[in-house]
Chains A and B, each alone.
Chain A
Amino acid sequence: MPNKNGLELIVPTSITKTGTGSTATINTNGSVTCTSCTSLSLNGVFSSTYDNYQIVFSGVSGAASYIQCRWRASGTDNATASSYTDIWWYSVGASQGKNTGTQDHHYIIYNDASRSGFVGTIYGPNLAQRTVSRWSAVSMADNTVVYDFGGIHNQSTAYDGITFHGYIGIGQTFSGLFAVYGMRD
């Protein structure tokens, strides 16, 4: 019998985190609430049941900084150098601009200690082909900024999870609510 429910909230099979004094909990329906994490891994959220996913975040960072992410398979982040290409544009006040870069992670939001959020759309992370993603973010950092990130990951790997990182190398903390939704197909 067809299942027509278009968006399905996914329950991680497990979560792992880092950060002194941090907490992370899988909520009853499957979203994850964390506090003061420097990294948060959601394992088992991507599967062959869905091709595409949406991830919604609402929360804060400890200070003005980026939250980044890496795709994850069987409990291990893919940190291959130069495998994550990003392109983004932003609007701050009366100015706007763009940037691009290639590194070992994606950029997905620039935020600070004020409430912020993003919606990410992930195309085919569990398929053994390049994963592309799009992140639309808003935050109060720098007196309200709009960021729109696009990510292309050049590894043809089937991923089952994602790790969110406070700025890698600095260990910035973040807190908030993450929810992963499968898009029925």
Chain B
Amino acid sequence: MPLVGTKANAGASGLGFLSSIPGEELGGLVLMTPTSVDKTGTSATITTNGAVEFTACSSISLNGVFTSEYDNYKIVVRATCASQVSLQLRWRASGSDASGTNYTTQLVYVTPSSVAASRDIRNYHYLGYVSAAGYLGVTVDTYGPQIAASTHLRTISIMPYPGPEIWDEMETHSLATSYDGVTIYSSANWTGQIAVYGMND
């Protein structure tokens, strides 16, 4: 009998994370449910399973998504915006963003005319550009955000802005802080979905 493949057999008695169910097999990726969401903008909703869908927000904070349960996480973002603006990320602890200049980024970016690299130290991490040309898709793998040591991430992104671009990016955050959340923000209202997955260990 397959253990995966249909919603029916992936429910509470299948590959879910409710460890109280006897004999349950845990999946490798576990969708996290934020304990709360803070927004600046129109609307944000936590879905039944734990993803966050929002409309016309300039800032979305997911609180309580990183716990001691998992060391490493995957963050998947799909976003669009009527304006052409950058999307940024900050780690977050107990409801406050880490806004110091502690984010070191090494980026390889590919445009129709060039492939280039850059290194910067900022008070945020760039995820890419959103625009009305279509959806930005970005996947972030992050290592140990809830561990009180420097936090590292690696992103790959695809964006239609204003011509097609792909980014491969790494970032180290130098503070030895235990983060339980993340804020993704921009200078204009954007719409999309954020899902955070714990990597079972």
Interface residues of A (CB under 8 A from B): 1-11, 28-30, 49, 51-52, 85-89, 96-98, 100, 121, 123-124, 129-130, 132-134, 136, 148-152, 154, 183-185
Determine if A49 and B7 form an interchain contact, defined as CB atoms under 8 angstroms apart: yes
- CB within 8 Å of A: which of B29-68? 29-31, 33, 47-51, 53
Closest-by-CB residue of A relative to B80 is: A129
Interface residues of B (CB under 8 A from A): 2-7, 10-12, 14-18, 27-31, 33, 47-51, 53, 74, 76, 78, 80, 108, 110-112, 114-115, 134-137, 139, 156-160, 164-166, 168, 193, 195, 197-198
Determine if B12 and A98 form an interchain contact, defined as CB atoms under 8 angstroms apart: no
Q: How far is the CA of A122 from the CA of B4 in the complex (A)?
A: 20
Determine if A6 and B197 form an interchain contact, defined as CB atoms under 8 angstroms apart: yes
Determine if B112 and A150 form an interchain contact, defined as CB atoms under 8 angstroms apart: no
Give the residue of A29, A98, A133, A183 whose beta carbon is less than 8 angstroms from that of B114. Answer: A98
Determine if B2 and A6 form an interchain contact, defined as CB atoms under 8 angstroms apart: no
Give the residue of B15, B78, B168 whose beta carbon is less than 8 angstroms from that of A123. Answer: B78
Determine if A96 and B115 form an interchain contact, defined as CB atoms under 8 angstroms apart: yes
Contacts of B166 in A (CB 8 A): 87-89, 134, 148-150
Q: How far is the CA of A30 from the CA of B166 in the complex (A)?
A: 30
Contacts of B137 in A (CB 8 A): 52, 121, 123-124, 132-134
Closest-by-CB residue of B relative to A153 is: B134
Determine if B78 and A136 form an interchain contact, defined as CB atoms under 8 angstroms apart: no
Q: How far is the CA of A4 from the CA of B49 in the complex (A)?
A: 6
Determine if B157 and A129 form an interchain contact, defined as CB atoms under 8 angstroms apart: no
Give A103 Cβ to nearest chain B Cβ, in Å. 13
Give A32 Cβ to nearest chain B Cβ, in Å. 12
Determine if A87 and B12 form an interchain contact, defined as CB atoms under 8 angstroms apart: no
Closest 3 CB pairs of A and B: A6-B29, A123-B137, A185-B51
Give B39 Cβ to nearest chain A Cβ, in Å. 18
Determine if A5 and B31 form an interchain contact, defined as CB atoms under 8 angstroms apart: yes
